[in-house]
Amino acid sequence: MQNKIAWRYNQMQQQFTIKNIDSSIFYLDLSKSETEQTVENHLKLNNYDEINNLQQFLQIITKQYQKSLKTSTDSTLKKLIIHDFWDKIPYNQQELYQFLYSLKVLIRSSFILCVITLPDRRMDLMQFCDFYITITQLFGNKEFSEFQGMIKFDKIGWSGSLKQVQLENDKWGIKITQKSLKIEQLYETAIEDDSEEEQNKKNKIEQF
């Protein structure tokens, strides 16, 4: 008996290769210089202390989005930043999962760019994200002493998808001063293992 693969699966192209995103951007200045135009489409949230539960929080987000629509066909990208609510709004594990799932459904069905911060103790919640950023401190690293940390970008594939997406250069450094916040690509220098004697021999060969 000969085993055969169903036609619909046999015709599918395997996507094991990694697709690189263009990384021509090597410098970003994130200094605080926002104007009214740049923050015009930011969704404003109420004080977390006034929110009793996550269901109410989701309702507030939904109402703010609907309020921001200028017309029924408004396709302007709205920005939503959710941070530091973990210890301010009471919830249990099931309520948290339901909130994050409902928030993801709302974002995917709307023109919203949502950024949500996760504490170290809740890194398991990255499964609800399509794209995540991690920041690593660079203590004791002389080569990158002028940077406060390293920032890395990763994308999580959709459920059932074999395709992964990553940046060609996934390492950036963060520079923070009193007046500026900047991100620059990190370029690691090669480590020379050759002794001085071996290096002199190489130079003589090259000259010859």
Read off the pLDDT of residues 79-115 as tens digits, 9 standing for 90 and up. Answer: 888 887 877 888 888 998 899 889 989 988 888 888 8
pLDDT at 168: 52
pLDDT at 62: 92
Q: Which of 136, 160, 164 is nearest to 149 (CA)?
A: 136
User: What tokens were used for 131?
Assistant: 């794209």
Cα–Cα distance measured from residue 114 to residue 57, given in angstroms and rounded to the nearest whole number: 14
Provide mean pLDDT across the span 40-58.
81
Residue recorded with tokens 């170290």: 120
Question: What's the pTM?
Answer: 0.57
Task: Kindly list the domain boundaries of the chain, sorted by start residue.
Answer: 16-35+130-188, 46-119
